[in-house]
């Protein structure tokens, strides 16, 4: 069975500081990895996914299969980045549909 681990419940940084939210996974196949974000009082929304290798709002994440990690990074945090961040794994489309396994989430607080 797949598993997603986010070791930090809370990450507090100052504005302009670098940010790294950690995510490790366990899965025997080739998963798809995602980061979702939930801003205060808003719905969960997709931030980025590893297959697209894009940067969204300055965030990037690289899939490291050797370390089974998918850490989320941003070089300079902004106050508006404060939110709950969830790492999620999709075991793949072999079954013909996708479901997600989520980590417990990391709350990012960016102080002025």
Partner 1 sequence: NAGVMQNPRHLVRRRGQEARLRCSPMKGHSHVYWYRQLPEEGLKFMVYLQKENIIDESGMPKERFSAEFPKEGPSILRIQQVVRGDSAAYFCASSPRQGAVEAFFGQGTRLTVV
In the complex, which residues of this chain contact partner 1 (CB under 8 A)?
4, 6, 32, 36, 42-46, 49, 51, 86, 88, 90, 93, 96-105
Nearest to partner 1 of 14, 54 (CB atom): 54
- Tell me whether residue 2 or residue 68 sits nearer to partner 1 (CB atom): 2
Q: Is the dihedral of CA 97, 32, 29, 91 positive or negative?
A: negative
Q: Which residue has the tokens 């974000």?
A: 37
List the structure tokens of 87. Answer: 């790492």
String of DSSP letters for 35-84: EEEE-TTS--EEEEEGGGT--BTTBEE--BTTTTB--EEESS--GGG-EE
CB of 60 vs partner 1, minimal distance in Å: 18
- DSSP symbol at 103: -
């Amino acid at each position: 069975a797949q598993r997603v681990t986010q070791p930090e419940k809370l990450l507090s940084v100052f504005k302009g500081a670098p940010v790294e939210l950690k995510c490790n996974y366990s899965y025997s196949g080739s998963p798809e990895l995602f980061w979702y974000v939930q801003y205060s009082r808003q719905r969960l929304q997709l931030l980025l996914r590893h297959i697209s290798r894009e940067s969204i709002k300055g965030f990037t994440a690289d899939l490291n299969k050797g370390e089974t990690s998918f850490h989320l990074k941003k070089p300079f945090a902004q106050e508006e980045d404060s939110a709950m961040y969830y790492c999620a794994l999709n075991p793949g489309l072999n079954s013909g549909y996708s479901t997600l396994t989520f980590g417990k989430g990391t709350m990012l607080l960016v102080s002025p």
